[in-house]
Amino acid sequence: MTKLRTSGGYSIRLSDLTIYVVLIALVIINTVLQPNFIEPLNLYYVLGTAMPLIFASAAQGMVILISSIDLATGSVVSLVNVLVVTLIGRGSFVAICLAILAGIAMGLIAGLITTLLRLPAIIATLALSSVWAGLALYVLPTPKGGLPDWFQTVLAGSRPLWILVGMILLWQWFSRTKQGKHMYAIGANENAAYMSGVPILKTRLLVFAISGLLLALSALSLSATTGGGDPLSGTALTLQSIAAAVLGGIHFKGGSGSIVGAIAGAIVLALITNVVYYTGASAFYQGVVYGLLLILALSLSRLTGDRKATFRRSLKPRMSI
Amino acid sequence: MTQTSTTASETIPELSEGPASKWRLALNPVVLAYGAVLLLAAVGGILDRNFLASDHLFTMVNLGAVLGIVAAGQTIVIVTGGIDLSVAGVLTFAQVMTPFWIDGQSGRWPLIIVILGIALLIGAVNAFGVSVLRVQPMIMTLGVGAVISAAVLILTNGSSTGGPPKFLVTTMTRQGALSGLLLMWIVVSIVTYVLLHESSFGRKVFAYGASARTARLAGLRSGTAILGTYCFSAVTAAMAGIALAGYTGSGDFGIGDTYLFPSIGAVVIGGTSIMGGRGNYLGTIAGVLILTVLEAILIVLNIAAAGRQIAEGLAILIILIAYARERRLRQ
């Protein structure tokens, strides 16, 4: 049996820390603009509204780590969101279970199409996105409320924080398992991973299934924050999740980075919205700040430490038999 | 059709040799794509007798023209191995700002040139990010697109007012064989074909797309190729936006997004590899026609928007399975 030793999961590079510096800076800016910001209740609230993007960015991060990409993120979230709202009448338990199963199934379909049929992910998930968006529109043509009150309190109080802590712990565990290392190996060089006996199909399907599960959770938290269903509810999440994952230091070509970074990236995007709101500037400026930050963060990491990083990436994963 | 096959075999040299070349020619994506257009048109003709009437054909081609113009620029970007997500922002920018700035006064036509100039600048920014800062094309154009979309909202304060100049409206809404939209698509197509397949710029684009590293080692100055590519894409997106402004008569902030994914889809189902280095602009024209005719068929069948989206997604998937598969890992 081949044993893999990768540095991907827990090596710390200076450029990986950038996102946390930006995160802390944004927290300080927010506190200066609005002293109440730092109060726990407000922080929980900010986290709660960011939960859909946090889950979606984690899902996107998993897929980018294996050097793939998911352009169907937003449509999957929309479809699960409308499924929950239409099924809630048949019992909350059934609705939530079916929603999660639907998310996993959609992830598996994307995994099968890109792995077994070998279609390029960028275009295959684009086509899938059209299918899922059409289904969402079919299930629920117009926005509708009607989720029970308890559903809307799922993310109340300190719960978002505990969910976040749970996610980070689960990731720390998963990235150290055999499957986690296989995932990094595929992302760094799929051919080399195949030659070394990494089960490509199984690992890729696992990653896509986890990503689908995370998207279902994103949809559930979106349903909880909005209290209803909308066939277009997730649309913005596709591009935002890619931005968050890449801002968070996940290498666009796969094989390096951490989901914790993607989560930080998602929180950064949420905090930018806050800053723009507090400064009293028109909400339109949000897009400008977010676009410029994306370009700036990436070009900075390229200009500072990338040559070394690329070199290191070429050595990774180191394998020993 | 014969012209299509000869150009296709020129682009992929190995097609002209070997005993199996005839079969491989038949399986050429560009040929397949035009076959799919004819098949879809035949299906449409069977479903509705008026489908192939000249009036309806021209209406379809006019509707496809806007997508065709955006997809022309997208083709060259994808051949370099990149992707341009900022076309949505640029198209919206041109479509909203043309009526906003011109405000129905034909005397202000130079503003159209200003808008094209701004598009050129946006393309240059994209190219700068991709070739100098070495940001992934997808991320660079995503960021630039976000900035432009926001800038349009800031400039107009969120409400699209004004109107396009009269001459633009009359040219773009004219129907039939000599409609402004169709003529524009034809001109853009000829320019794109010559640029991509008959010029040294095009050869640079293919070389860079096949392998950026090899191209650099061979002494190609890829910077100019990238600059030209992204500027061309931004300008075609802006042209599509200006044409649409004349066609629809007023600005629409969401219009660019409706063309973004079809523009990529048209390029890829036309047989251009999303990985770059391989492709043919003639295929993109077929891709645009496939998407347009398919949409028209679904409308004839009275299928609601939801069903159309599902069918289009599945159709693209099936076409991709036919010829856009990557090589096996083992090879």
Pair of tokens at residue A65: 């780590």
Which range (A298-307, B146-155, B244-253) has the least confidence? A298-307
- pLDDT tens profile B252-302: 898 888 899 899 999 998 989 888 888 999 999 999 999 999 999 998 898
Domain ranges of chain A: 3-320
Residue appearing with tokens 């051919």:
A191
Strands A3-5 and A318-320: antiparallel
Q: Could you tell me if A137 lies within 8 Å of chain B, comparing CB atoms?
A: yes
Q: Could you tell me if A286 lies within 8 Å of chain B, comparing CB atoms?
A: yes
**CB-based contact A134 B138, cutoff 8 Å:** no
pLDDT at A285: 85
Nearest to B225 by CA among B246, B201, B241, B207: B201
Among chain B residues, CA nearest to A134? B306
Band the pLDDT of B251: cuts 50, 70, 90.
confident
pLDDT at B33: 87
Fold designation for B52-323: ABC transporter involved in vitamin B12 uptake, BtuC (1.10.3470)
**CB-based contact B274 A284, cutoff 8 Å:** no
Cα separation, B61 vs B181, whole angstroms: 9
> Chain A 32-51, CB below 8 Å of chain B: which residues?
none
Mean pLDDT computed over every residue of chain B: 86
Spatial neighbors of A239 by CB under 8 A, at least 6 apart, are A74, B85, B142, B146
3-state secondary structure of B86: coil
CB A234 within 8 Å of CB A78: yes
CATH architecture of residue range(s) A3-320: Orthogonal Bundle (1.10)
Q: Could you tell me if B326 lies within 8 Å of chain A, comparing CB atoms?
A: yes
- pLDDT tens profile B2-15: 444 444 444 444 44
**CB-based contact A302 B134, cutoff 8 Å:** yes
Ramachandran region, residue B277 (left: φ > 0; alpha: ψ -120 to 50; beta: rest): left
Residue B321 C-alpha, separation from nearest chain A C-alpha, in angstroms: 7
Residue A250 C-alpha, separation from nearest chain B C-alpha, in angstroms: 12
Residue appearing with tokens 């398992």:
A177
Cα separation, B255 vs B241, whole angstroms: 9
Chunked into runs of 10 residues, chain A (321 residues) has average pLDDT values of 43 66 90 87 90 97 94 96 91 91 97 92 92 94 86 84 95 94 93 92 96 97 91 89 90 88 94 83 82 81 51 41 32
pLDDT at B27: 64
**CB-based contact A123 B305, cutoff 8 Å:** no
- Residue A129 one-letter amino acid: S
**CB-based contact A295 B140, cutoff 8 Å:** yes
Nearest to A100 by CA among A110, A113, A87, A112: A87
Among chain A residues, CA nearest to B325? A119
B21: pLDDT strictly greater than 60: no
The kind and range of the H/E element at A5 are strand A3-5
Q: Could you tell me if B210 lies within 8 Å of chain A, comparing CB atoms?
A: no
Mutate to test the interface with B, among A241, A284, A304 (most CBs of B within 10 A): A284
Q: Could you tell me if B328 lies within 8 Å of chain A, comparing CB atoms?
A: yes
Spatial neighbors of B295 by CB under 8 A, at least 6 apart, are B63, B308, B312
Give A32: exposed, middle or buried? Use CB within 10 Å, 0-12, 13-18, 19+: exposed
Residue appearing with tokens 């479509």:
B95
**CB-based contact A113 B317, cutoff 8 Å:** yes
Chain B CB contacts of A305 below 8 Å: none
**DSSP 8-state assignment for residue A228:** S
Spatial neighbors of B182 by CB under 8 A, at least 6 apart, are B58, B61, B62, B65
Question: Is the C-alpha dihedral spanning B58, B64, B69, B75 positive or negative?
Answer: negative
pLDDT at A315: 42
pLDDT above 70 covers a percentage of chain B that reads 89
B159: pLDDT strictly greater than 60: yes
> Chain B 248-267, CB below 8 Å of chain A: which residues?
261, 264-265
- pLDDT tens profile B172-212: 877 766 788 899 999 999 999 999 999 999 999 999 999 88
Cα separation, B14 vs B21, whole angstroms: 8
Cα separation, B287 vs B34, whole angstroms: 8
Band the pLDDT of B22: cuts 50, 70, 90.
low
Axis crossing angle, helix A73-87 with helix A40-65, rounded to the nearest 10: 120
- pLDDT tens profile B93-142: 999 999 999 887 888 888 999 999 999 999 999 999 999 888 889 989 99
Cα separation, B120 vs B233, whole angstroms: 9
